[in-house]
Amino acid sequence: MADEGDGMTIEVRRSASPAETERIGAAIARRLAPGTVVTLEGDLGAGKTCLVRGLARGLGADPAAVSSPTYVLEHRHPTDDGHELVHIDAYRIRSADDLASIGFEELLASGSAVVAIEWPSRIAAALPPVRIDVRIRHAGEDEREVEIEDVRPAQRAGTCASCGAALAAGSDGRFCSDRCRMGDLGRWFRGDYAIGRPVEEDDLSSDAWNPRGGGRP
């Protein structure tokens, strides 16, 4: 979907220190709203976790609590708007069951967390088409090149603005489902933020996170 050309922006930043990479993360965070998926690609030691620390800072979560989710698949950090930053390390995810065990589908459908994913290529098929892709490359000892791509498929007449599926008669002309309406992240990322539906009390309850009623590892 990133090959559509229109509706996609790429920004490249240089970083000369971990602090600078964190600042880039914090700057990205200020353009995000709950529901946005941010993928982080890069070799070991590139600075993916460092950038997530910046996302945490920008979202009002505790940056010091951010570390690589090595022994668990994900870490959840409360943000100061009452939502969460969910930090997933997909390196160890080997099956759809692993993804299901962290309630990934429900997490995306709820639209109420910023979801940062290290090693996204491991779960490429499960990623929403609308998201922010960050790629970090070594460019010297402490130098890094940080590429930020706003992936947003262009909407064609009669197709869903989020997933591109054909729209049924009687749809609102933009989205094929509530899930896609909630997933219209590109709009949020561009700054013309509009909530697709009013926030409901359920959104903030733990049940909304895990409809199976708990049991995450």
User: What tokens does 97 get?
Assistant: 């069951």
Does 101 contact Mg ion by CB under 5 A? no
| Closer to Mg ion by Cβ: residue 68 or 210 | 68
Contacts of 182 (CB under 8 A, 6+ apart): 35, 109, 110, 111, 196, 197
Q: Which residue is nearest to ligand ADP (CB)?
A: 47
Q: From the list 15, 21, 39, 49, which residue makes contact with Mg ion (rule: CB under 5 A)?
A: 49
Does 48 contact Mg ion by CB under 5 A? yes
| Closer to Mg ion by Cβ: residue 48 or 57 | 48
* Angle between helix 48-59 and helix 18-29 axes, rounded to 10 deg: 50
Q: From the list 57, 144, 152, 181, which residue makes contact with ligand ADP (rule: CB under 6 A)?
A: 144
Q: Which stretch binds Mg ion (CB under 5 A): 61-69, 140-148, 182-190, 205-213?
A: 61-69
Beta pairing, strands 37-41 & 74-78: unpaired
| Least distance from ligand ADP to the Cβ atom of residue 71, Å | 15
CB 41 within 8 A of CB 133: yes
Q: Interface residues for ligand ADP in 51-70 (CB under 6 A)?
A: 68
The helix/strand/coil state of 131 is strand
Question: Around Cβ 44, how many Cβ atoms within 10 Å?
Answer: 8
Q: From ligand ADP, Mg ion, none, which one binds at residue 110 (CB under 5 to 8 Å depending on kind)? A: none
Q: Which stretch binds ligand ADP (CB under 6 A): 11-19, 69-77, 99-107, 201-209?
A: 11-19
| Closer to ligand ADP by Cβ: residue 33 or 51 | 51
CA-CA distances (angstroms) from residue 122 to 13, 52, 201? 25, 18, 34
Look at the block and give the residue holding tokens 């909630």.
182
Does 171 contact Mg ion by CB under 5 A? no
| Least distance from Mg ion to the Cβ atom of residue 51, Å | 9
Looking at 140-203, which runs of residues are DSSP E strands?
144-151
Chain positions contacting ligand ADP, by CB under 6 A:
15-18, 20-21, 42, 44-50, 68, 142, 144
